[in-house]
Structure 1
């Protein structure tokens, strides 16, 4: 495991590195546009996320280097007696830091954050084209209890 991994809310200056990490895998390379300058859509999304009190875009870093990212959305539900859930999305680690425990620390940090905010459940999805990611999440205690469906618009 990497040493001295720290976490903080992402800042606008981190956006370039975040998009680079999102684009740096087989699926991300097909759906993201990491180019200079970054498409304005990324800045608009970043500002919408960071201005929403129920969303946190969190980066993992060592020294001055961003080595991971995840988005956590906190959602109130009427089910479970009006409980709150945390949804983890967009988990990525920098290619130079993969297989060094950064992803594990990101997820553990998100779980602790959800507990601190009183969530009764942490949920996430992973693409079926990422079987290694599924195994990773299962090792961390996540279970495939529901079938997720999407409708692309």
Structure 2
């Protein structure tokens, strides 16, 4: 596998990002990678791009986007005013899973959080994504909370 590099996404990367999000069993039900993209994707990207505490990241190999994730930096009062890093919507192209790119992407994200002064990094993963849970545990992450959602 040639080197994977990580960078902030540009608007030109958005179709590849949505395609990656739509590639799994959860995303295929809620995402639409057909062109032209739904304007909601473009609006969301613009908001993320304009916020210094949000980063949409892509993993790139040989000029092709092969992965994505969103990093959020969250200030808080708890833990003596500690910042937290939140990693969301982690995806690696299905054909490249198991080859190290995902682990490298998570390691890179943790370093980005450390560089921003975060004292902890957290992520969520849908309960049905058991392979993802095993992946995170292999990287040293521990299950610590039960999450709840209320769809509006």
- Specify the alignment match of 1:37 in structure 2: 36
- Specify the alignment match of 1:97 in structure 2: 96
List 4+ stretches of structure 1 deviating above 6 A: none
- The offset of 1:147, in angstroms, is 1.2
Question: Deviations 1:15-64 (Å, cap 9, x if unpaired)?
Answer: 00000000011111011111111100000000000100000111110121
Given the two structures, how large is their TM-score scaled by the length of structure 1?
0.96
- The offset of 1:68, in angstroms, is 0.6
- The offset of 1:81, in angstroms, is 0.4
Q: 1:4-153, aligned counterparts within 5 Å?
A: 4-153=3-152
| CA distance in 1 between partners of 2:133 and 2:70 (Å) | 18
| CA distance in 2 between partners of 1:96 and 1:17 (Å) | 14
Unaligned runs of 5+ in 2: none
Given the two structures, how large is their TM-score scaled by the length of structure 2?
0.97
- The offset of 1:98, in angstroms, is 1.8
Q: Number of aligned pairs?
A: 152
Describe the SS at the equivalent of 1:46.
helix
Describe the SS at the equivalent of 1:85.
strand
C-alpha RMSD of the superposition: 0.9
